[in-house]
Amino acid sequence: MTIAPARHNGELGQAAWSDAQLLYALEEVVEKELNRHLKVAKDWMPHEYVPWSDGRNFPGPLDGDAWDPEQSKVSDIGRIALVVNLLTEDNLPSYHHEIATLFGRDGAWGTWVHRWTAEEGRHGIVMRDYLLTSRAVDPDELERFRMAHMSEGFESDNGHSMLHSVAYVAFQELATRISHRNTGHHSGDPVCDRMLARIATDENLHMVFYRNLLGAAFEMAPDQTMCAVRDVVTGFRMPGHGMPGFERSAARMAIGGIYNLRIHHDDVLQPVLRFLKVLEIGGLGPAGLAAQEELGLYMDGLDGQARKFDERQAAILARREANRRG
């Protein structure tokens, strides 16, 4: 397929690519990364990670036992994070629709879209089965939240641009991996920890796919890609931001060490930026240089905000410990 030459954009200081042009230009990279992914990704069975022997009926047509918080093996912060993480996974139909619209259903792009969707589907399956079987959370509340969240659907902040979407998922997949792993570590249940570690392995492979694709975009369209990364990093929001009670849950997860500013800066943004050497890329035009400078200043400011959060978190946890002992 012949790719039309990129049109020159004076503001960017170099030829500007359209979404269609970048899709075609990146097709070979997508195919290479897809083949690499299929070689290293391991199929796994969600049902093998669920403690089915712990399950029993709930009230209703089967006349089972009502849920009680005392039945849960996971910690309070574990329950909060598990609900947020599962509700995020529940919006998979909206995510699939968005990336299928942006990336298409043909060729290597289409194969990746469907493979990614199938792998992500496992995460929601195993998490819900675990939560209900182990009685980790209130099943009625969980279903009400699911209905409310999915009824709203999901519209990405980056749906206007394929390049912005690639940049976003390069960071978001890593953020999801970190959130799952930390939830497992703080859950208090080894079964939960094992399950979320398995999910986190998938999320890391997804991050590598998009991160490498973003690296190729930097080689083809450095100014446009730098501007996209700047926009995504400075305006980053997790995909669950529209779910019921998200702000309160996110605040509790931050204090509980699941996901907060320090983790976001150190374990999500910095590793991707460092791997791609984003702040060291040369040969940029005026817009790319400006975006690179803004990105560096933003990261410095975020580090300062994270330090202030660290101090508040330490004070809150010390106060809680004193009250517990008191």
Query: Is 155 assigned a ligand-binding role in the annotation?
Result: no
- Alpha-carbon distance of 100 to 103, in angstroms, equals 5
CB count within 10 Å of CB 87 equals 24
Whose structure tokens read 């817009």? 287
Query: Is 311 assigned a ligand-binding role in the annotation?
Result: no
Query: Is 28 assigned a ligand-binding role in the annotation?
Result: no
- Alpha-carbon distance of 93 to 246, in angstroms, equals 20
CB-based contact 265:306 (threshold 8 Å): yes
Query: Is 89 assigned a ligand-binding role in the annotation?
Result: yes
- The residues near 57 (Cβ < 8 Å, ≥ 6 apart) are 63, 64, 65
- Alpha-carbon distance of 42 to 178, in angstroms, equals 20
Q: Amino acid letter at 53?
A: S
- Alpha-carbon distance of 99 to 326, in angstroms, equals 53
Helices (H), 91-138: 92-103, 107-133
- Alpha-carbon distance of 315 to 321, in angstroms, equals 10
Q: Known binding site for Fe cation: residues?
A: 89, 120, 123, 173, 203, 206
Q: Known binding site: residues?
A: 89, 120, 123, 173, 203, 206
